[in-house]
Amino acid sequence: MEEKLWIVDQANKLLGPLVLKIFSSFGIHLNPHEPIPPHVLMAVLASIAVIIVFGILSGKPQLLPDKRQSIFEQIFLFFDGLNKEIIGKEGRKFIPIVGTLGLFILTMNYFGLFPGLSSPTTNINVTAGMAIFVYFYYNIQGIKKFGLRYIKQFTGEYIALAPIMFPIEFVSHLSRPLSLSIRLFGNITAEETLILVLVGLFAPLLPVPIMALALITGGLQAYIFAMLTSVYLSGAVSEEH
């Protein structure tokens, strides 16, 4: 059960009837009491926050960068360095995907630290959705680059071993979105649950050290997700097949 939030109740009062009407026109029947679930609204708000904040930070580039542009450049260089280290010379073209995922997950993880909000990443549907996207994306990139030769990712170099290698590699690749989604979901859920329990048991200021730790773990989980996305992309587009 997801936490009841005031902002979710208001969103459902304002937009719920419209959402129900739109989805019912496609034959999709939602929960009439809560057509907009908390994790969906939080994910949408996180998306809007990322677009606004980084839209402002990117702004119009200047020859002599101000503080705003310097922050944006440092974030760009962080993901650029990550991709170049893992993927190599092709890493820069994947910055939009890896960077967006990292920043989006970071924002969602931190939402749970604000009163009246919750982390969408405590819902397995959110983490699984992103992990499945990564799975299809890196495989599509591999197919775009190598065409039919990409099948060697699953069969290996030697045709004689293909009947053995294919099931192993197929299961290995399928386990990647499962691992990505459960790792992020489990860590953020445990972190947010611990904070809520401490708030309920002790004075409001006592959970502050745990919330400080949550800042670190939330950032770390976003980094791990982005890093593994780079690793999977590297395996898909690497020349060493």
In angstroms, the CA 189 to CA 135 distance is 23
Band of the pLDDT at 151, cuts 50, 70, 90?
confident
What is the number of other CB atoms lying within 10 angstroms of the CB of residue 60?
A: 5
The one-letter amino acid at 208: V
Average pLDDT over residues 139-144: 92
Question: CB of 229 within 8 A of CB of 97?
Answer: yes
Please indicate whether residue 164 or residue 150 has the higher confidence score (pLDDT).
150
* Nearby residues of 178 by Cβ (< 8 Å), 6 or more positions away: 131
This prediction has a pTM of 0.87
Query: pLDDT (tens digit, 9 = 90+) per residue, 166-201?
Result: 787 778 888 888 888 998 998 888 877 777 777 666
**For the chain, what are the domain ranges?**
1-36, 45-237
pLDDT at 135: 94
Band of the pLDDT at 228, cuts 50, 70, 90?
very high
What tokens appear for 66 in the block?
A: 């101000």
Please indicate whether residue 149 or residue 164 has the higher confidence score (pLDDT).
149
Choose among 109, 107, 106, 102: nearest CA to 123.
109
Average pLDDT over residues 1-23: 87
What tokens appear for 7 in the block?
A: 């902002």
* Nearby residues of 72 by Cβ (< 8 Å), 6 or more positions away: 54, 57, 58, 59
11 pLDDT higher than 90: yes
Band of the pLDDT at 241, cuts 50, 70, 90?
very low
pLDDT at 240: 57
Please indicate whether residue 157 or residue 216 has the higher confidence score (pLDDT).
216
Tell me the HSE value of 74 on the side-chain side, using a 13 A CA sphere: 7
In angstroms, the CA 79 to CA 226 distance is 9
**What is the residue-wise DSSP string for 167-199?**
HHHHHHHHHHHHHHHHHHHHHHHHHHHHHHHHH
Q: At what angle do helices 67-86 and 38-58 cross, to 10 degrees?
A: 110
